[in-house]
Structure 1
Amino acid sequence: MTKRQAIPGVVLPTWDATQTRILDAADALIATRGVRGMTIAELARRSGVSRPTVYRNWSDADDVVRAALLRRVALILDRFPAPATTRAAIVDDVLRFAALFRSDHVYRHLLTEEPEAFTRYTLERVGSSQRAILGWLAVAIRAAQHDGSVRGDDPQAMAVMLLLVAQSALLSHGTVSELIDESSFERELRAAVEGLLRP
């Protein structure tokens, strides 16, 4: 695994061909069997490599899950080639990121079938995936502060709060789907993000 820097200030890893093959198999396992169905033996079988090959790259199944989830976030962030530079663009990007996140087959499984696993891997501690998202948000917030469309408080603190708002909305979406339709959900999330950033 090497590092890449597609977004200023955000360093994301890259994976070689063997690691990509293993993580592709991990994605399929998580999306069909869930985190509980992830074993090194099954992962090695599905990816066509030996168990020692898996262990040369990751210490255990939990480590593989975290790498797979980080790669899913990296693939989503790749869809945003340039950071936003205005409040309106940040709001659009956060809503688009949330939509891409919800439609990602791995994260969609966790959100709908294993919310406790989603909580464990994304909410209980700030891991590499969250740090990548925070870096992406902070870069955009700083740029929009220069534009004058975002209030001039600490960009990192604002990025943290944006992440909390978006994560909470994503995790709770299924729970409240009977109370709020899709267009209203998006409208209210947009209003919450807009209000957080407005000067």
Structure 2
Amino acid sequence: MTPIRHNASDNDPVLDAVRDCVLAVGVRRTTLTDVARRAGVSRMTLYRRWPDVRSLVGDLMTREWIEAATGAMPERGQVADARTLIVQGLVNGVDAFRRHALFRKIIDVDPELLLPYVLDRRGASQDALLELLAAAVEEGHADGSVRPGHPRRQARSLLLVAQSFTLSLRTMTEEDDAELGTEAFYGELRTILERTLTP
């Protein structure tokens, strides 16, 4: 499977600083001055790369989401075939996102930041995840574990399903038994994905 290429921002102290600021006070209360101070750089250094906090947070989300998604994929040698890799990776990925500290903070405090990526356009992290999924689907075509079809369209459909579970699952779980409800829904997600992909 083709790995997602990370860029120079993967270990960027400025992105580390904005992550710490957002976790502390949320996006709306984070300022470039706060980030610059925490990162030990001048505000002008930040302005050369990012015009505002939202663009800086956008790069942070790209880094964090790609890291969470790729970290959720099982090792190729640990699974029997590409379909199992995809299904396990997506279920793990949904769980990883829902537990991710930055994702939870944004959902709780600044959920409007995610709306453009749900309603209007794909973000860089979504494009990277589609690249990863399409490559895995093509592997599944080759090993016979995934039904024939257009690999990129199949990848987009898989991501749509995973996004709905990631963003909306808490609206469907019972408050008095959230953990059991979540695990049960992960089982349903696994079934949906298996039946979608099985030849």
TM range (shorter): 0.7 to 0.9
Match of 1:173 in 2: 169
Alpha-carbon distance change, 81 to 22 in structure 1, aligned in 2, over 3 angstroms: farther
RMSD over equivalenced CA pairs, Å? 2.3
Q: Is residue 63 of structure 1 aligned with residue 65 of structure 2? A: no
Q: 2:46 and 2:34 mapped to 1: Cα distance? A: 11
Q: Does the CA contact (< 8 Å) of 2:134 and 2:152 recur in 1?
A: yes
Match of 1:190 in 2: 190
Q: Is residue 12 of structure 1 aligned with residue 6 of structure 2? A: yes
- Give the TM-score normalised by structure 2: 0.85
Count of equivalent residues: 191
Q: 1:16 and 1:73 mapped to 2: Cα distance? A: 11
Deviation digits for residues 91-137 of structure 1, max 9, x if unmatched?
01111111111121101212333332222355531111101111111
Alpha-carbon distance change, 45 to 121 in structure 1, aligned in 2, over 3 angstroms: farther
Q: Which runs of 4+ in 1 moved over 6 A?
A: none
Q: 2:117 and 2:86 mapped to 1: Cα distance? A: 25
Deviation digits for residues 168-190 of structure 1, max 9, x if unmatched?
11111221221771221111111
Alpha-carbon distance change, 11 to 122 in structure 1, aligned in 2, over 3 angstroms: farther
Structure richer in strand, relative to its length: 1
Which segment drifts farther, 153-162 or 116-125? 116-125
Give unpaired runs (5+ residues) of structure 2. none
Q: 2:89 and 2:106 mapped to 1: Cα distance? A: 22
Give unpaired runs (5+ residues) of structure 1. 1-6
Q: 1:198 and 1:112 mapped to 2: Cα distance? A: 36
Q: 2:105 and 2:190 mapped to 1: Cα distance? A: 24
Structure 1 residue 82 displacement after superposition? 5.2
Q: 1:174 and 1:81 mapped to 2: Cα distance? A: 25
Q: Is residue 120 of structure 1 aligned with residue 116 of structure 2? A: yes
Which segment drifts farther, 78-87 or 44-53? 78-87
Structure richer in helix, relative to its length: 2
Match of 1:72 in 2: 64
